[in-house]
Amino acid sequence: MHPAGSVILFTVASGLGFGMLTWLGLGLPDARGWVAFFNYALAFALAGGGLLASTFHLGNPQRFLKAFSQWRSSWLSREGCLAVACLLVMGVFALGAVFYDAAWQPLGYVGAALSVLTVFATSMIYAQLKTVPRWNHWSTPVLFLALSLGGGGLLAGQVGPAIGLLFLAGAMQLFAWLSGDGRFQERGTDIGTATGLGVRGIVRAFEPPHTGNNYLLKEMVHQVGRKHAVKLRMMAFALMIVAPLVLLMISSSVLMICLAVSCHALGTFAQRWLFFAEAEHVVGLYYGKR
Amino acid sequence: MGFEEPKLNLSPKVSDEIRKTTCYMCACRCGINVHMKEGKVAYIEGNRDHPVNKGVLCAKGSAGIMQVNAPSRLRAPLKRVGPRGSGAFEEISWDEALQLAQDWLEPVHKENPEKLAFFTGRDQSQSFTSFWAQGFGTPNYAAHGGFCSVNMAAGGIYTMGGAFWEFGQPDWERTKLFMLFGVAEDHDSNPIKMGLGRLKERGAKVIGVNPIRTGYNAISDEWVGITPGTDGLFILSLVHLLLKAGKVDLNYLAQLTNAPALVDSTEGPNKGMLLRGADGKLLVIDRKTRKPVAFDTKGIMPDLAATYEGHRTVFQHLAERYLSDDYAPENIAERCGISADRIRAIAADLARVAFDEAFELDQPWTDFRGNKYDKMIGRPVSFHAMRGVSAHSNGFQTCRSLHLLQIILGTVEVPGGFRFKPPYPKPVSAHPKPHCKVTPGAALDGPHLGYVQGPDDLCLKEDGSAARIDKAYTWENPMSAHGLMHMVISNAHAGDPYKIDVLFMYMANMSWNSSMNSGGVMEMLTDKDENGDYVIPKIIYSDAYSSEMVAYADLIVPDTTYLERHDCISLLDRPICEAGGAADSIRWPVVEPDRDVRGFQSVLVDLGARLGLKGFVNDDGSAKYEDYADYIVNHERRPGVGPLIGFRGETGQEEGRGAPNPDQMQAYIDNGGFYEIHVPEGAEYYKPWNEAYQDWAVKIGIYDAPQPYIFDIYSEPMRRFQLAAEGYGERQPPEHLRAQIKQTLDPLPMWYAPFEDGAVDVEEFPIHALTQRPMAMYHSWGTQNAWLRQIHGQNPLFVPTKIWQANGFVEGDWARVTSAHGSIVVPVAHMAALNENTVWTWNAIGKRKGAWALDEAAPEATKGFLLNHLIHELQPPKGDGLRWSNSDPVTGQAAWFDLRVKIEKAKQQSESTPRFEPITSPVGMGPGELEWKVSK
Amino acid sequence: MTTLPTTTSAKKLGLVIDLDTCVGCHACVVSCKGWNTENYGAPLSDQDPYGSDPSGTFLNRVHSYEVQPETGPAQLIHFPKSCLHCEDAPCVTVCPTGASYKRAEDGIVLVNEDACIGCGLCAWACPYGAREMDQAAGVMKKCTLCVDRIYNENLPEEDRVPSCVRTCPSGARHFGDLGDETSEVSQLVASRGGMDLMPELGTKPVNKYLPPRPKDVPADLDILAPYLEPVSGTQKGFLGWLDKALEKL
């Protein structure tokens, strides 16, 4: 899949933002006043900014309101609804914390739940796609949630749980990579089933339908060099998981946390780039590509 | 929130008006419905009533809308201001352009008309353009047949009075076994696809004989991946097997062909000619009386086995030749790349279907002898072939061989077999002979192109030199029925046989894909003599688009697109008939040009009048026709016979023959752009011999008298040339050509290796290289269409598995391909369904930078390439001090497919080689985005 | 909501594509481009149409594949592909706006362009590459089965078929109701073993493909006399046969 900048920015930022909101909603930390203001500002900036970024890849963003209509069937619509609901609820909750020195906790719990659900919905946009076997697996939402809550936990200063979640995310990531690498093949979809010609012999794509380029190829057929991918994975893993853990084990000072968050965020960008770039859509089979 | 489906308008208005005209996106000439909205072309679809396409339309046809809006359309007459080849022009007015053309042409016409060479490429108005050239008085006229498929046309006409494509078609409704030879996905476009569809519907069998398994061959039930240039040998091996097994239609051969004619065995000037009676009619031996009688005597049974005073029948000569073990499958299998078993199986299949599955139609008919029959016998085997077999130096004989195979199976003009399309069948004798007598200030003595009967008909001057600039109808290629367009520029440049003053061309991309040796042609067009003048002094060119050739002209007269013009697709020319009827059609301006351009034929009408050419001026010297449309309606070739057959006579009620009708054009428009006259019942088969057909053909003006004939398995015109080569007769070939004529003008079909095999080291150049046209693009016929170029915007060289692996190629690799003449470096791609010694590419996707209003970085101009750079119009020197033409020695057809190459891996490149300097585009470049919707 | 219609009508309009007959001419591709540029919704635009990287929106494209059987020569198969109007269309349910929907009446999958935000998720959900985002209009384009032709009272009855079907020169494309077992298209599917693409994905495509018939299979030969039997081994013998054969005529 084409690793579009807007979508990478969207998933990474909103993941961190909603993850942080989850912690804030749970009252961890139970900040008030200016501290709360900066906490919520950061969380809203990440969550909202991410959502805004996601509209950059829309062909007709001015019609975005329609996207709230299909929550009963569409994970994308659900994600939109949940995100807005979450931001509204957490907005009110934040008002209390910033201006009224109050933690309207039931609201916070609802907001936290909505945050988790938002991230879950985001992940399900990808995990639901049978057309992308690598994504179409329970590990996708688990990984998204672990990263969101882990990264958000770091931002919220919840070092202890964050370390645990990063461990989980790290394990999940390794599992996702390892199991994901073979999933396309496991699913049994190949050029033979795609064309129905597999029963006749070995099928090979001959001429492409058009020598000219097209949307499908640009959007869904993205090939990453194998060596390149291995290097990037190592780098992503080191930054996203290993570096924060090492840093936090050395010290959990604010500076260290900041450093750990930066590493984690950078690593997550690389991870997310790979998440798209390594994902192979079955449509590539029609073009003799994966 | 419930979901409600949006309310759709399921019956939107389709268009304001449908204008029916004829497509010109290739040579197929389908009927089209042009949907107009707000006066603009909104959508094009096939015309269901049209005899050619019956509603369907190919990719090119549907993309016509992108042709009418093409940025490469020329906008106004152009005069060259920079050096030739640079593309530097200034726009001039039509008055100035026509005056200039007149100033150049008038002295030529008055002093020596042969100094004009007028060649019209992919012209569909040849009966008109040749008429103009005839009026001008130059012998130098032809269209593109010489570099296309003249072997096919001439091979067919000399053998059976018609050939494939425009001349005939399989009986799609009744054929059970269809064999396709060398059809490279083009000729003809939609009818073949429709026919194949009909066969597939019925589960009939299709055998594809082609080194490349794409397109029609891809859907063949059986693919024969033959070695290029060996089709004739394969066919004659089938003939061998069929003869040997007695699986030949003896009655058909005896009654309807010259197989029972007697071959003169007397040594001397008549040896090998057929015996004739005092009345000039062929003699045959009647099996009942054992006496010689005229072949057309009623009630006879001509004897194939007869020997008369030592003269044996054609059939016995034929049997002797083809029963020879030279044609045994075991002896040719390796050469053809087909196993002997496979050849035997195919022969058995042909025999089984032709004879065991023969059937009868309850259709009485009367033959030319007056014999009456109750039934028509059907043999459901049919064949079709095209350029793949004909574009070889042995193509003419190969085409004859294929017709021989059809004929011995008795499958020509019978139900289930191959059927002619009116105005064919038409025997050689009913065709004109070539004319070349030049008279200053006057017309030529007759039509340029025709069918020679022997040396007397060659176009030679008193001193024996060629009368025509292309050396058509000379000893080098005596039966060159379509001329040799591919030799015009090199001969004119060499001044051999003479120098010319004006080169005038139409729709012919000679400086690019329409020439062999394109780079050499560019040099010839720009070469200067010792005085600094161009060797070819003046070049006038007409095209609708900014093709590569535009840059090489001094004066451009811009043509319209096909939707902006009048045209006629006439029975006098290349007709659109189907086997069941005679048909012709028109084009008319469904939109008016938005540029300062004029239909080329109307420009010729104007020039003809300015020059006072015969046929273009009235007795008082005034212009005879206002424009081409006026000519189409009012011209009469013979009294009552004009370009169009429909709506003739003063009331418009007559068909075929009748006085000109001033309302004819409108009547055609109202009728959907065409007119069709159906062949009457009982005349649909056995046409060359069928009284009912012959009478109908006379009635509608195809002939002026019935022209029944028998098929020439044995060709006397060819034998006459052989006799000359043997030393008989007054006109004698030059010494160096005697052997070639004796060998290749054999009166019975035969096979010899393609000339390139003898001219180059086949060990060094072991690989055959071919081109095909893609179905969705008709190369540089039109523009680089915005929709079609997305389908075929670049062309790799397709390489078979064996060569692919031997060179260690991987996807994305480049290769150097070298022939005896040149070398190119191009991208390669793997193809398994390909003859193991053959490489190929799509023809003419490669474009010159600056042409066709494309970006200079367009894939056509960077990665695209031409094979033409590897092919020379002459064969490599043999060391005899002579340069031999790279053409068929019978017809002069360009031997494109003789090409042999070697291939090696090359470094990755950004662009194919050879590379040429960009030419300045006279029309700029196209827009960056297209959203073509007429109604917003 | 764009769940799939719950009351699926019996009518399932779709195409049957005959891979034994398709010659790969691209007629359907361009006819579709022409009709759908001028009709339903936004025109199918082209980017850099005369430039170095031309691309454009097409609703139907013809692929080609080489198949190497265990024995015999490689085969080449032309393979037109457009929307299969799946019964269980994943492209419909993922749509956040309801723009993508399956008509309850006849099963045609459509995009309501006025509601499309151009997110592209439906194209991701489609295994077949049947949806292309138009780069000029920013909305998702797909085969409409020419919904603006098949019921169009401004067209003569015989023309009320998708433009690709009307134009196909070899008759490799068939249009009809695959929900009706007695329809011509259903009969074709039954008699020729019509197949689904990627059946394992559970999309239940309505469009079917007729597989190519067996190729390069030798004709049924009589094992005892597999080939043509010579009438004689010699030239003289042949003439003797000829004489006898002529007598019989």
Predicted confidence (pLDDT) per residue in A278-288, tens digit: 999 999 999 99
Query: How many residues can be counted in chain A?
Result: 290
Among A185-189, B381-385, C209-213, C223-227, which is the least confidently predicted range? Answer: C223-227
* Segments making up each domain of chain C, as ranges: 13-210
Distance CA B599, CA B566 (A): 7
Write down which residue in B373, B393, B423 finishes a domain: B423
State whether residue B36 sits within 8 Å of chain C by CB: no
Same domain for B355 and B450, yes or no, is no
Predicted confidence (pLDDT) per residue in B683-740, tens digit: 999 999 999 999 999 999 999 999 999 999 999 999 999 999 999 999 999 999 999 9
pLDDT of the residue at B330: 96
pLDDT cut 70: percent of chain A above it: 100
Tell me the chain A residues in contact with residue B793 when contact means C-beta distances shorter than 8 Å: 210-212
Confidence of residue B31 (pLDDT cuts 50, 70, 90): very high
* Domains contained in chain A, number: 1
SS3 A95: helix
Q: Please name the helix (run of DSSP H) or strand (run of DSSP E) that holds residue A277, with its range, or none.
A: helix A254-277
Report the phi/psi class of residue B599: left, alpha or beta, with left for phi > 0 and alpha for psi in -120 to 50. beta
Q: Is the distance from CB of B708 to CB of B694 less than 8 angstroms? A: yes
Strand order in the sheet with B141-142: B89-91, B78-80, B555-556, B538-542, B502-506, B116-119, B141-142
* Domains contained in chain B, number: 3
pLDDT of the residue at C235: 83
Give me the sign of the Cα torsion angle B595, B601, B606, B611: positive
The pLDDT of residue B1 is above 60: no
| Cβ within 8 Å, pair C3-A80 | no
Write down which residue in B393, B423, B453 finishes a domain: B423
Task: Tell me, rounded to whole angstroms, the distance of Cα B62 from its chain centroid.
Answer: 24
Residue B53 belongs to some domain of the structure: no
pLDDT of the residue at B928: 96
pTM metric for this prediction: 0.96
Same domain for B198 and B278, yes or no, is yes
Same domain for B142 and B273, yes or no, is no
Tell me the chain A residues in contact with residue C196 when contact means C-beta distances shorter than 8 Å: 196
Determine the average pLDDT of the residues in B454-479: 97
| Cβ within 8 Å, pair C43-B933 | yes
Residue ranges of B 646-665 with Cβ closer than 8 A to chain C: none
* Topology (CATH) of C13-210: Alpha-Beta Plaits (3.30.70)
- To the nearest 10 degrees (0 to 180), the angle between helices B340-351 and B231-244 is 60
- Strand-strand pairing, C13-18 and C208-210: parallel
State whether residue B67 sits within 8 Å of chain C by CB: no
pLDDT of the residue at B347: 96
Distance CA B6, CA C107 (A): 14
Same domain for B131 and B195, yes or no, is no
| Cβ within 8 Å, pair B794-A211 | yes
Confidence of residue B884 (pLDDT cuts 50, 70, 90): confident
Predicted confidence (pLDDT) per residue in B541-576, tens digit: 999 999 999 999 999 999 999 999 999 999 998 788
Nearest-by-Cβ selection for C67 from A69, A187, A203: A203
Distance CA A128, CA A251 (A): 40
pLDDT cut 90: percent of chain B above it: 93
Residue B745 belongs to some domain of the structure: no
Predicted confidence (pLDDT) per residue in B644-692, tens digit: 999 999 999 999 999 999 999 999 999 999 999 999 999 999 999 999 9
The pLDDT of residue B183 is above 90: no
Cα radius of gyration rounded to whole Å, chain B: 27
Nearest-by-Cβ selection for A210 from B3, B790, B832: B790
Same domain for B400 and B472, yes or no, is no
Residue B550 belongs to some domain of the structure: yes
Q: For residue B770, what are the β-bridge partners?
A: B840
| Cβ within 8 Å, pair C117-A64 | yes
Confidence of residue C224 (pLDDT cuts 50, 70, 90): low
State whether residue A106 sits within 8 Å of chain C by CB: no
| Cβ within 8 Å, pair C213-B221 | yes
Residue B17 belongs to some domain of the structure: no
Predicted confidence (pLDDT) per residue in A37-83, tens digit: 999 999 999 999 999 999 999 999 999 999 999 999 999 999 999 99
The pLDDT of residue C225 is above 80: no
C214-248: burial string, b at 16+ Cβ within 10 Å, e else: ebbeeeeeeeeeebbebbbeeeeebbebbeebbee
Query: B843: Cβ–Cβ under 8 A, 6 or more apart, which residues?
Result: B513, B771, B772, B773, B779, B867
Same domain for B338 and B453, yes or no, is no
Domain hosting A265: range is 5-287
pLDDT of the residue at B778: 78
Count the helices and strands in chain A (H runs, E runs).
Answer: 11, 1
SS3 C78: strand
The pLDDT of residue B462 is above 60: yes
In chain B, the N- to C-terminal Cα span, in Å, equals 32
Q: Is the distance from CB of B29 to CB of B585 less than 8 angstroms? A: yes
Q: Following CA atoms B288, B291, B292, B294 in sequence, which dihedral angle do they give, to the nearest 10 degrees?
A: -50
Give me the sign of the Cα torsion angle A51, A52, A55, A56: negative
Distance CA B58, CA A230 (A): 48
Write down which residue in B562, B587, B609 finishes a domain: B562
The pLDDT of residue C1 is above 60: no
Predicted confidence (pLDDT) per residue in B586-620, tens digit: 999 999 999 999 999 999 999 999 999 999 999 99
Distance CA A16, CA B179 (A): 68
Chains contacting A with at least 3 CB pairs below 8 Å? B, C
pLDDT of the residue at C2: 61
Predicted confidence (pLDDT) per residue in C16-43, tens digit: 999 999 999 999 999 999 999 999 999 9
Q: Is the distance from CB of B182 to CB of B385 less than 8 angstroms? A: yes
State whether residue B8 sits within 8 Å of chain C by CB: yes
Interface test with B, best of C3, C13, C17, C25 (most B CBs within 10 A): C25
Distance CA B9, CA B11 (A): 5
Residue B569 belongs to some domain of the structure: no
Confidence of residue C7 (pLDDT cuts 50, 70, 90): low
| Cβ within 8 Å, pair C197-A205 | no
State whether residue B918 sits within 8 Å of chain C by CB: no
* Å between B380 CA and nearest CA of chain C: 16
Distance CA B314, CA B712 (A): 10
Q: Is the distance from CB of A68 to CB of A77 less than 8 angstroms? A: yes
pLDDT of the residue at B155: 97
- Structure tokens given for B529: 């003599």
Tell me the chain B residues in contact with residue A204 when contact means C-beta distances shorter than 8 Å: 832
Residue B486 belongs to some domain of the structure: yes
pLDDT of the residue at B150: 94
Residue B37 belongs to some domain of the structure: no
- What percent helix, strand, coil does chain B show, rounded to 5? 30, 20, 50
Q: Please name the helix (run of DSSP H) or strand (run of DSSP E) that holds residue C18, with its range, or none.
A: strand C13-18
How many Cα atoms are found within 13 Å in the side-chain-facing hemisphere of B547?
A: 27
Q: Which residue has the tokens 């009654």?
A: B255
CATH of the domain at B464: 3.40.50.740
Domain hosting B781: range is 755-906
| Cβ atoms within 10 Å of B464's Cβ, excluding its own | 13
Predicted confidence (pLDDT) per residue in C97-112, tens digit: 999 999 999 999 999 9
Interface of A with B (CB under 8 A): 69-70, 72, 204, 206-207, 209-212
Same domain for B99 and B191, yes or no, is no
SS3 A171: helix
- Structure tokens given for B235: 């066919």
CATH of the domain at B249: 3.40.228.10
Task: Check residue B173 and report its DSSP letter.
Answer: T
Query: CA separation (Å) from B250 to B151, B703, C237, C246, C248?
Result: 28, 30, 17, 7, 10
Tell me the chain C residues in contact with residue A57 when contact means C-beta distances shorter than 8 Å: 119-120
Distance CA C238, CA C243 (A): 9
In chain C, the N- to C-terminal Cα span, in Å, equals 79
- Structure tokens given for B323: 């029963």
Confidence of residue B782 (pLDDT cuts 50, 70, 90): confident
The pLDDT of residue B2 is above 60: no
Distance CA B665, CA B644 (A): 9
CATH of the domain at A227: 1.20.1630.10
Taking alpha carbons only, the member of C9, C6, C3, C27 closest to residue C172 is C27
* Å between C216 CA and nearest CA of chain B: 4
- To the nearest 10 degrees (0 to 180), the angle between helices B340-351 and B329-336 is 110
Taking alpha carbons only, the member of B171, B116, B126, B117 closest to residue B148 is B126
Q: What are phi and psi of B876, to 5 degrees?
A: -60, 150
- Structure tokens given for B795: 């062309």
Same domain for B381 and B489, yes or no, is no
Tell me the chain B residues in contact with residue C168 when contact means C-beta distances shorter than 8 Å: 56
- Arithmetic mean of pLDDT over chain A: 95
Distance CA B479, CA B476 (A): 9
Q: Could you give the maximum distance between any two Cα atoms of chain B, in Å?
A: 102
Q: Please name the helix (run of DSSP H) or strand (run of DSSP E) that holds residue A193, with its range, or none.
A: helix A191-195
